Structure 1
Amino acid sequence: MAPKLPASQTAPTPANENAGHASPAASDAIVNLYLLLSDHYDKARKAYAEGWDDERVAKEAGLSPVLVAERREKDFGPLVKDTTLEDIAAATLALAQEVAGLEGEIDALQRATASAITTCGRLKVSLNALRKAQGRLSAPAVVKAA
């Protein structure tokens, strides 16, 4: 067992806890990761440029997608998926269904209106016939001269 050095003589702790542990290739991969993120991740939009994602960055940098996602999340921010197109599509579908429902109601009302118009016309003819009959029956009898 090696003798324990006094606290004043112990080796200083590196500022980066991973310092001394990473191989030159791993260090280069991390530097490349940050360059790729700087080039292809938009912090303001919280989104990658078209055609880029954690998987592609991981492949380009030679790192795992999990590590890329962790570093991006920690140092660049969360990835927010833009759902504008899906939201518009859902709203369009809901509105189209509502329009179709109203068109169905309008068609039903038009059929009911046409039927009511036909019935009303038929009833007017019957009413006029009854009025004529009533007029004939309520008129005073006319005596015919011989």
Structure 2
Amino acid sequence: MRHWNEAGQTTDDARRSWEEKWKAPKQVLKAKQTAINQHVSELQEKVTKMQTMLRAMARERRTAPMQELADLEAEVKQLEEKQAKKWRRFSKLRWIRDGDAPSKFFFAILKARRAQEEITTFVGEDGQRRQKENSTLTRMNFSLNSRKRRK
């Protein structure tokens, strides 16, 4: 179903224009993520080389280059901050795009809770377990009636 807005566009036209507007920020974020990933791999290589060098120095009983270690730690910390900033931007961009819509996670939790609360079997007065076959309505009624009795 299409609806007209005040600008004289249909919802499909509005959706297309918003998708066009979101292309540029998505491309910028993707380029930044690629640069960050490349920087991470380079940094991991540096860390591996430094660890190898430290092991060799420990064998030779030499002192480690403390300035290089401090620089490497600072670079790792800076990279972690960049990554956290990127995820905050991404989540804000997604929130702006999707709004406060319930997520798949929300529905999965709800489904799990409902499955736990569902009564599929009950114990009769004679102590035997009974299972209702294919009758969700009777399960619901039984559940509601048993809750009323407790009160």
Please, what TM-score do these two structures have when normalized by structure 2? 0.34
Greater relative contact order: 1 or 2 (C-alpha under 8 angstroms, separation 6 or more)? 1
> Max radius of gyration: which structure?
1
Which is helix-richer, 1 or 2? 2
